[in-house]
Every structure is written in C-alpha cells, then in structure tokens.
C-alpha cells in the first residue's frame, strides 16, 4: 500500500476532508536553535488533529458494504474524532472505544460528529482490545489508528504538503505514538528525497518505538506514564514497524517537563494551542544537534481540555521562574509586613498571594512565617528579589508554590 501512486491518490482524496495547513515560519524557535524552523500546524484541522487524514483515506478504500456494516476504532481522542468525522461524511455508523482517562473535550467532540462512544480501560491498548472484541461480535469494520498501511498512507500526505511547500527541507520532526504518522511521513519523504532526515519524537514515559528499534523487533512496555496522552502507547504497530526500521533516521525522547515549557512557548510566541503530544516536536528542537538547517516540526494536534491547559500554564510559569514562592520569618509586630512588601516593590516584584502563619513558633515575638508567592520576569529577576530580601536582613527560603 505504501507506494508513490497511493500517496498521490491519498493526497487528492484527503483534500475533501482537510483544512490547508501551510507552514508557519517561527522566528522565535529559529533564533533559539540557530536553524530555520517551520511549524506544520495540524492542530488547525477541523477535528483539531492530523488523524482525519488517515481515517478519511482508509474509509475511502472500503467497499460500500463494509461501510454500511458500521465502523469501529479505539483511540485516545484524535483518531476517534477523525474516524467519527470521516464516517459521517461517508454516511456510515461509527463506534469509538476510548480510554476512561481521555479528556472530556475529546469525548464530547467525538460524540458531536455523531459517533457512539464507549469508555473502556485506562490506556489505549486496553481500549483497542475491547474494540476488536466488539468488531468481531457485531461485524464492524475496524479502523486501526496506526497499524494499517492505508491509514499510514493517509497520514503521509503531510510529507507531500511539506515538500511541495519547502522542497529543500533538511529535517522533519514527527511525533510517535504507535507509529502510523511517522511511517507515512518518513516513507514518503525518503521516496521523494532520500537526503531528508526524519526524526521521530516520543515521550520518555512511553518510548515504545525507541525500545522496539533497539531490540530489532516490536516490544511491549510494561506501563506508560506521560502527560502526552495522544502518544501514550505500550506497543507500536507491527505492520508499520518494518517501514520505520528502514526510513526513520533517529528518535528523540522528551520528558514531560519539556512539554510544559513548550506549551508556554507556543501560547506566548505563536498564540496557538497545541496539545502535549503535538508539542513533542517543539520540545525536541533544542535537542537537535544541527545548525543552519531547514527544520519542520509537525504539530500533530490541538485538542486539550481547559483544566489541563490551566495546570500546564501554571507549571510552565513555575518552571520558568515566572512564579515562585519564598518563606521568610519576621517578628510579629506592626510594620513588618509593610517592610517586606516595600523591598519586593522596589525590585518590581508582583505579589499574587500571601500566607501569614502566626503559629510557626511558640514565641510569636521571635518569629512568624510569611509565605509570599510572586510573579517575576524570569530567573534573573527572581534572584534579584531573593537577594534584596537577604540584604535587608531576611533569610528567604525558596519553596514550592502552592497555587
């Protein structure tokens, strides 16, 4: 299935269901990395992710009889919406099995396309096993989220668009969960230009593809633990694995903390919401040891619920020292709070929370504790504030903020 003819066919077919996602040049990331960095914003698709490409193309290859029997899949969310949307376009029934941990926004949006949603299991692998049971029982056609050459061909249309728009691209960074997107992108990229280097990016807490490539065969991780829920996969695809062995140049793994900072960077510098799995390629930019190259980061999706978004922003501000908390001890007498506030104000610190504890010591005259949560411009500004407090006779201790 993964032939140039099929990729060209898929590129025309998926246009019926996709938005045009032209490359965005990133001045910010280019300056940070010393490369020319472009973003492929698949988070701007109608369904909020690239998955609609593979789902729509796969369903287009089915017979009318197969479509009328009904379609079923398992997904953490983005493939679910892709299948639901594509099934609606073809007038077919869709049943989607989603892990119970799937963000509510993805569940509701999947339902909004007319699909029947079944919540089952804690991770994708458990949901997939149940979906396969239902497919056999009810006679549904199973649409695999990644381990299907037709689905991978549909996803590979991204590479076709990248190379048409940026023919001299040097590196393409692609997120990896089960491997469907990376298979399509790397296979087509190598067909069109063998010199293009395609780098897969996985969360460190779910690096099933890296483990499999090192072992020379598909392996299953004992567990996965990552905030990148769209790529939280224990076992990569067996059917697509040989293509990745041949066409993927390297894999970079990313810690969750890097994703948190990447989210903040995207919001502040590009005014875009990108989900944690889609941020893998952004976080990987600083680990790509090259200069003066044309690099494309595929932003695979933007479906993030507001509660998760809020916590990620808070954690990102804390990691960047834009929010921090100091604890100081001071005598319990009039004017002490004003003195501390004046020191902070003189350094342009912005107090956002105070916690005054009179019971930290049995001798209140000797000491009461004041915890001050502050907003700062970054690490240098934070250090100036802490040093100013020291110079005025306080002994500030930086502690973990409790927002």
CATH number at residue 71: 3.40.50.1100
List CB contacts of 343: < 8 A, sequence separation 6 or more.
388, 389, 392, 394
- Cite the beta strand spans of 64-148 per DSSP E: 71-74, 94-98, 116-119, 141-142
Of 296, 316, 336, the one marking the end of a domain is: 316
- Cite the beta strand spans of 195-322 per DSSP E: 197-203, 250-254, 294-299
User: Hunting for tokens 């938005």 — which residue is that?
Assistant: 19
Q: Is the dihedral of CA 208, 214, 219, 223 positive or negative?
A: negative
In this prediction, what percent of the chain has a pLDDT beyond 70? 98
206 and 116 share a domain?
A: no
Of 292, 316, 340, the one marking the end of a domain is: 316
pLDDT tens-digit series, residues 339-367: 999 999 999 999 999 888 766 665 655 67
pLDDT tens-digit series, residues 186-242: 999 999 999 999 999 999 999 999 999 999 999 999 999 999 988 988 999 999 999
88 and 213 share a domain?
A: no
Bigger pLDDT: 307 vs 16: 16
Positions annotated as catalytic residues are 51, 300
What order of strands is seen across the sheet that includes strand 350-357? 350-357, 368-375, 323-330, 397-399
Q: How far is Cα 274 from Cα 263, in angstroms, rounded to an integer?
A: 7
Bridge partner list, 354: 372
253 and 332 share a domain?
A: no
177 and 283 share a domain?
A: yes
12 and 87 share a domain?
A: no
279 and 291 share a domain?
A: yes
Q: In terms of DSSP H, where are the helices of 271-357?
A: 280-283, 306-319, 336-346
189 and 332 share a domain?
A: no
pTM of the shown model: 0.88
pLDDT tens-digit series, residues 288-324: 999 999 999 999 999 888 888 888 999 999 999 999 9
Bigger pLDDT: 365 vs 126: 126
197 and 87 share a domain?
A: no
Band of pLDDT at residue 131, cut at 50, 70 and 90: very high
Highest mean pLDDT: which range of 68-77, 165-174, 302-311: 165-174
Band of pLDDT at residue 161, cut at 50, 70 and 90: very high
- Cite the beta strand spans of 342-385 per DSSP E: 350-357, 368-375
Rounded to an integer, the average pLDDT of 32-56 is 96
Q: What residues make up the domain containing 104?
A: 52-142
Residue-level pLDDT at 362: 58
Of 96, 125, 142, the one marking the end of a domain is: 142
What order of strands is seen across the sheet that includes strand 36-41? 24-25, 36-41, 294-299, 171-175, 197-203, 250-254
In terms of phi and psi (left: phi > 0; alpha: psi -120 to 50; beta: otherwise), the region of 202 is: beta
Contact 317, 352 (CB under 8 A): no
Residue 325 to residues 96, 339, 344, 382: CA-CA distances in angstroms?
A: 44, 17, 12, 10
């Amino acid at each position: 299935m993964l032939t140039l003819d099929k990729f060209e066919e898929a590129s025309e077919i998926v246009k019926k269901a996709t938005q045009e996602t032209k490359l965005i040049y990133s001045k910010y990331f280019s300056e940070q990395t010393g490369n020319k960095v472009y973003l492929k914003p698949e988070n701007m698709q109608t369904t909020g992710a690239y998955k609609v490409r593979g789902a729509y193309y796969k369903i287009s290859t089915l017979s009318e009889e197969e479509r009328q029997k009904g379609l079923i899949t398992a997904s953490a969310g983005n493939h679910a919406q892709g299948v639901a949307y594509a099934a609606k376009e073809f007038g077919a029934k869709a049943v989607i099995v989603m892990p119970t941990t799937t963000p509510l926004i993805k569940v509701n949006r999947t339902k909004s396309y007319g699909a029947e949603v079944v919540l089952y299991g804690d991770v994708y692998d458990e949901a997939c096993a149940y979906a396969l049971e239902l497919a056999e029982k009810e006679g549904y056609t199973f649409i695999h989220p990644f381990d299907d050459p037709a689905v991978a061909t549909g996803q590979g249309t991204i590479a076709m668009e990248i190379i048409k728009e940026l023919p001299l691209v040097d590196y393409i960074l692609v997120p990896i969960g089960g491997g469907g997107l990376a298979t399509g992108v790397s296979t087509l990229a190598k067909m069109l230009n063998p010199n293009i280097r395609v780098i897969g990016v996985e969360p460190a807490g779910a690096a099933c593809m890296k483990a499999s490539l090192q072992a020379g065969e598909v392996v299953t991780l004992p567990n996965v633990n990552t905030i990148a829920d769209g790529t939280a996969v224990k076992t990569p695809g067996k059917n697509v694995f040989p293509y990745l062995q041949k066409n993927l140049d390297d894999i970079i793994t990313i810690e969750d903390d890097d994703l948190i900072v990447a989210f903040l960077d995207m919001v502040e510098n590009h005014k875009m919401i990108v989900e944690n799995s889609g941020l893998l390629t952004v976080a990987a930019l600083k680990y790509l040891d090259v200069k003066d190259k044309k690099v494309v980061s595929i932003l695979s999706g933007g479906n993030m619920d507001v509660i998760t978004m809020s916590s990620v922003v808070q954690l990102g501000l804390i990691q960047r020292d834009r929010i921090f908390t100091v604890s100081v001890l001071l005598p319990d007498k009039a004017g002490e709070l004003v003195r501390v506030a004046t020191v902070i104000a003189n350094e342009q610190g912005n107090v956002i929370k105070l916690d005054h504890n009179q019971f930290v010591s049995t001798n209140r005259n000797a000491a009461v504790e004041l915890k001050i949560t502050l907003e700062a411009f970054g690490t240098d500004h934070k250090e100036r504030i802490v040093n100013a407090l020291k110079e005025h006779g306080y002994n500030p201790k930086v502690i973990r903020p409790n927002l």
